[in-house]
Amino acid sequence: MDNIGKKESLTIEFKSDDPRLSDNDIVEVVVGFSNTEGGELYVGVEDDGHITGIHKDHKNPHSLGAVISNKTVPPVSVRITIIGEVRPCVLVEVPKSSSIVMTSSGKILKRRLKFDGTPETVPMHPQEVLSRLSNLNRLDYSAQPVLNATCDDLDSSERNRLRKIISSNRGEGNLLDLSDKELDMALRLVTKVDDHYVPTVTGLLLIGKENSIRTFLPTAEIAFQVIEGTDVRFNESFIKPLLSAFEMIEEYMKAWNPEREVQSGLFRIPISEFDQRAFREALVNAISHRDYTILNRVRFLINDEGLTINSPGGFIEGVTIENLLTVDPHGRNPTLTDALKRVGLAERTGRGIDRIYEGSLIYGRPWPDYTESNSTSVNLFIQRAAPDEAFTKMIYQEKNRLGRSLPINSLLILSVLKEERRADIHRIAELTHINEKKSKVALEQLSEAGLIEARGTGRGRTYMLSSKVYLKTSSLIKYERQRDIDSLRQAPLILQLAEKQGFVTRKDAVELLHLAEPQAYRVLKKLVEEDKLVLQGRGRGAKYLLKE
């Protein structure tokens, strides 16, 4: 093998070993990988992937592994493999670390891509170390004292606003009985440093003076923009105490969020272009979970396609797009998030993401989209879409019947069935990211409530929305179409096809009737028993002919 067959990337690095590559160069790449996404280091390979071989000092994997372990803090355990025989190279597989790693000489490094797309290993700046620790849940940046700030940097009028919010949002009522100093301590807005109290990052963000926030936390910028076509209709950026910022953004949103009504019996259902409760949770999430060590702004953009919310800082360790709705709730800034929960601004269960999804699901709209998120930002997109009125009425009526909202798993499943028309439990679990056991429980509950119908048994069992979705609408045509082919019509259709092409196979029946293979087999078997078809052959070659 003359070429390694790969290209350098954020997680792949080639190093020539001719002349001998220094141990420090190897260790620095290992540290960079550990502090980023992990990766593969190939020693004895040129930048173009051409294998030139390794120096004799690097032919012993155990010795090389010991060097790496001894020169990294904490020690990094790597897997080393010798590749090839005639002109061997070394593969060093480096895991992503769950802490900050440095060289024994004190260098903290990371991997990044240059403008031309090639990778490099560079030092991590102090704020990047804080960001990394925050992402790993090893540091609560929002609980840190603000250096050089004093309690004079807190605004008494913002503290009064905080008290009003606690009262109006049904926060923890006992907080209102506390003095200002006690309130600040209870919400960890201040912390003790050298026998005196100073504001924490949370304190300055929530009730700090505007000029003080600009001075000490210039990263706390927020932008609200409205673009129609290519015309900018509204564009404002600001740095303010978060409590004041929340109120401003909600007022801006009201002006650009039209509402319509859907009639359901004697009641009218108000439906906003973007669900107000969902937006509030998305607003709180964007501001409370953002990375305040990154000099960037939280951006709210409304355009012809929909609403986009961009928040600096990627998902924290353990959170992915796939497990957003199932992972245990935990955030980047626990102290800030806890304060927002206690004053009544944030969802107390930590499941605000459920409410964001609910705001689209209950109206039969497309799901919130996080697919544009990356390692440096979380991007939420909520598409503009007209509500499905029949679906909305069904959800509204069921909510009234139960006296509560439907569980998020039930809403996800109903949404999938609305789009897929019919699906089995494997498909439902795949699309919702709900495991099959929980999916089965939700499906049984929905079936008992009469919201879905099940057809078939065993592995061939499928589910579809019930006629409730379309009751009291102009017609039941959609429901009839969704039911596919009624069982009473299955036999005549099979016989018609057999007459046209001379025979029918099990595969033909599956495609014609939209049934699982076991169900199609039972239909064909019944026609044979009724002397309407004759089975010819066995296995895959079996055919069913009309009986003469």
Looking up residue 464, the CATH number of its domain turns out to be 1.10.10.10
Dihedral pair phi/psi, residue 201, rounded to 5°: -60, -40
Residue 266 pLDDT level (bands cut at 50, 70, 90): low
Q: Are residues 230 and 334 in the same domain?
A: yes
Q: Are residues 209 and 149 in the same domain?
A: yes
Q: Are residues 500 and 478 in the same domain?
A: no
Dihedral pair phi/psi, residue 434, rounded to 5°: -100, 130
Q: Tokens representing 539?
A: 């296995």
Which helix (H) or strand (E) element contains residue 237? strand 231-238
**Count of CB atoms within 10 A of residue 506's CB?**
17
Global pTM reads: 0.77
DSSP string, 37-99: T-EEEEETB-TTSBB----GGG--HHHHHHHHHHTEESPPP-EEEEE-SSS-EEEEEEPPPSS
Dihedral pair phi/psi, residue 41, rounded to 5°: -105, 125
Q: Is 331 helix (H, G, I), strand (E, B) or coil?
A: coil
Dihedral pair phi/psi, residue 312, rounded to 5°: -60, 140
Point out the domain boundary residue: 330, 363, 383: 383
Residue 474 pLDDT level (bands cut at 50, 70, 90): very low
Sequence-distant (≥ 6) Cβ neighbours of residue 430 within 8 angstroms = none
Give the integer Cα–Cα distance in Å for 391 and 471.
Answer: 10
Give the integer Cα–Cα distance in Å for 397 and 390.
Answer: 11
Q: Tokens representing 426?
A: 């494997």
129 part of a folded domain: no
Point out the domain boundary residue: 343, 365, 383: 383
Give the integer Cα–Cα distance in Å for 79 and 224.
Answer: 48
Point out the domain boundary residue: 180, 197, 216: 216
Q: pLDDT of 166-221, one tens digit each?
A: 999 889 999 999 999 999 999 999 999 988 999 999 999 999 999 999 999 999 99
Looking up residue 96, the CATH number of its domain turns out to be 3.30.950.30
Rounded average pLDDT over 236-253: 96
Q: Are residues 255 and 351 in the same domain?
A: yes
CA nearest to 384, candidates 512, 272, 479, 269: 272
Contact (Cβ atoms closer than 8 angstroms) between residue 183 and residue 175? yes
25 part of a folded domain: yes
Q: Is 276 helix (H, G, I), strand (E, B) or coil?
A: helix
CA nearest to 59, candidates 44, 49, 72, 45: 44
- Flag whether pLDDT at 477 surpasses 50: no
Give the integer Cα–Cα distance in Å for 89 and 163.
Answer: 66
168 part of a folded domain: yes
Q: Are residues 169 and 100 in the same domain?
A: no
Query: What residue ranges in 277-319 does DSSP mark as E strands?
Result: 298-302, 306-312
Q: Are residues 257 and 364 in the same domain?
A: yes
pLDDT at 514: 66
Mean pLDDT lowest for which of 146-155, 172-181, 313-322? 313-322
- Flag whether pLDDT at 239 surpasses 90: yes
317 part of a folded domain: yes
The total number of structural domains in the chain stands at 5
pLDDT at 473: 42
- For residue 279, the enclosing domain spans 222-383
6 part of a folded domain: no
Q: pLDDT of 332-368, one tens digit each?
A: 899 999 999 999 988 776 678 999 999 999 999 999 9
Contact (Cβ atoms closer than 8 angstroms) between residue 45 and residue 1? no
Looking up residue 318, the CATH number of its domain turns out to be 3.30.565.60
CA nearest to 352, candidates 285, 399, 424: 285
**Count of CB atoms within 10 A of residue 165's CB?**
18
Give the integer Cα–Cα distance in Å for 305 and 384.
Answer: 6
Residue 412 CA, chain-centre distance (Å), reads: 14
Q: Are residues 20 and 60 in the same domain?
A: yes
Sequence-distant (≥ 6) Cβ neighbours of residue 148 within 8 angstroms = 216
In a 13 Å sphere around the CA of 267, the CA atoms on its Cβ side amount to 9
Residue that wins the pLDDT comparison between 455 and 446? 446
**Count of CB atoms within 10 A of residue 343's CB?**
22
Contact (Cβ atoms closer than 8 angstroms) between residue 107 and residue 123? yes
Give the integer Cα–Cα distance in Å for 359 and 367.
Answer: 9
Contact (Cβ atoms closer than 8 angstroms) between residue 442 and residue 326? no
- Biggest CA-to-CA distance, the chain: 102
Residue 475 pLDDT level (bands cut at 50, 70, 90): very low
